[in-house]
Amino acid sequence: EAQVTQNPRYLITVTGKKLTVTCSQNMNHEYMSWYRQDPGLGLRQIYYSMNVEVTDKGDVPEGYKVSRKEKRNFPLILESPSPNQTSLYFCASSPRGYNEQFFGPGTRLTVL
Amino acid sequence: AQRVTQPEKLLSVFKGAPVELKCNYSYSGSPELFWYVQYSRQRLQLLLRHISRESIKGFTADLNKGETSFHLKKPFAQEEDSAMYYCALRDGGTDKLIFGTGTRLQVFP
């Protein structure tokens, strides 16, 4: 089944403890992106990647890192999480130049 | 600046009533606009794209370049339409999607 998967789906952690949220797609898409969803703010882009080894900042990149070593994977790294990073995170992918993005199921992160 | 505005956070209607979810955009080039929907506890999924001029689940949306709007309409709302709706604008140069803040539609029986 063609899909975008994220792990973990739920995570509770403490301030400063490094964590990684994985994102994987099996559709051979070039473009991948991370968003955070917050009440009243909608979805805001954190980072995106237009292909392997090509990443760029979105609108809210502070406190996050990403890597794109393989086409299918686009992990989101929080080196030192803080409570203001408590949010619902979505990964998405699409073929380059294609107008529909396919979203993962979301990861709910709580930083205490 | 590229921007998508959804002025209503919440829209509540009764089943069978018409629905219009408003979306206005700001974009310097030729816009590509979409409506995404998120049902409770589910992932975002594409509902409509303006270039397709299609009707999905009874919803339609027309791009009005003069008013820079892309409102989502349905003549008769159903309870299963209750969801979060996001209007989005695609930046053709980067494939970036710029989302509005979303409108929660509640359809009461």
pLDDT tens-digit profile of B24-37?
A: 999 887 888 999 99
Q: Cα angle vertex A70, ends A66, A75, to 5°?
A: 30
Chain B CB within 8 Å of residue A39 CB:
no
Q: How far is A111 from chain B (nearest CA, A)?
A: 21
Q: Give the closest-approach CA distance of A14 to chain B in angstroms.
A: 25
What pLDDT does A25 receive?
A: 97
CB atoms within 10 A of CB A107: 22
Q: State which amino acid sits at residue B109.
A: P
How many other CB atoms are there within 10 angstroms of residue A12's CB atom? 11
Segment A51-69, tens digit of pLDDT? 999 999 999 999 999 999 9
CA distance A52 to A67: 9
Q: Do A41 and B34 touch (CB under 8 A)?
A: no
| Tokens, residue B44 | 């975002």
CA B89/CA B73 separation, integer angstroms: 18
Q: What is the DSSP letter of B103?
A: E
Nearest residue of chain A to residue B40 (CA atoms):
A105
pLDDT at B81: 97
Task: Say yes or no for a CB contact (<8 Å) between A45 and B96.
Answer: yes
| B101 to chain A: closest CA residue | A42
Mean pLDDT of all residues in chain B? 91
Q: What is the pLDDT of residues B83-109, one digit of tens each?
A: 999 999 988 777 788 999 999 999 999
User: What residue type is assigned to position A112 of the chain?
Assistant: L
For chain B, say whether A99 makes contact (Cβ under 8 Å).
yes
The vertex-A75 CA angle with A40 and A38, nearest 5°, equals 5
Nearest chain B Cα distance for residue A94, angstroms: 9
| Residue A105 predicted with pLDDT over 80 | yes
pLDDT of residue A102: 93
| Backbone phi, psi, residue A47, to 5° | -145, 160
pLDDT value at position A1? 81
Whether B107 and B14 have beta carbons less than 8 Å apart is answered as yes
Closest chain B residue to A108, measured at CA: B41
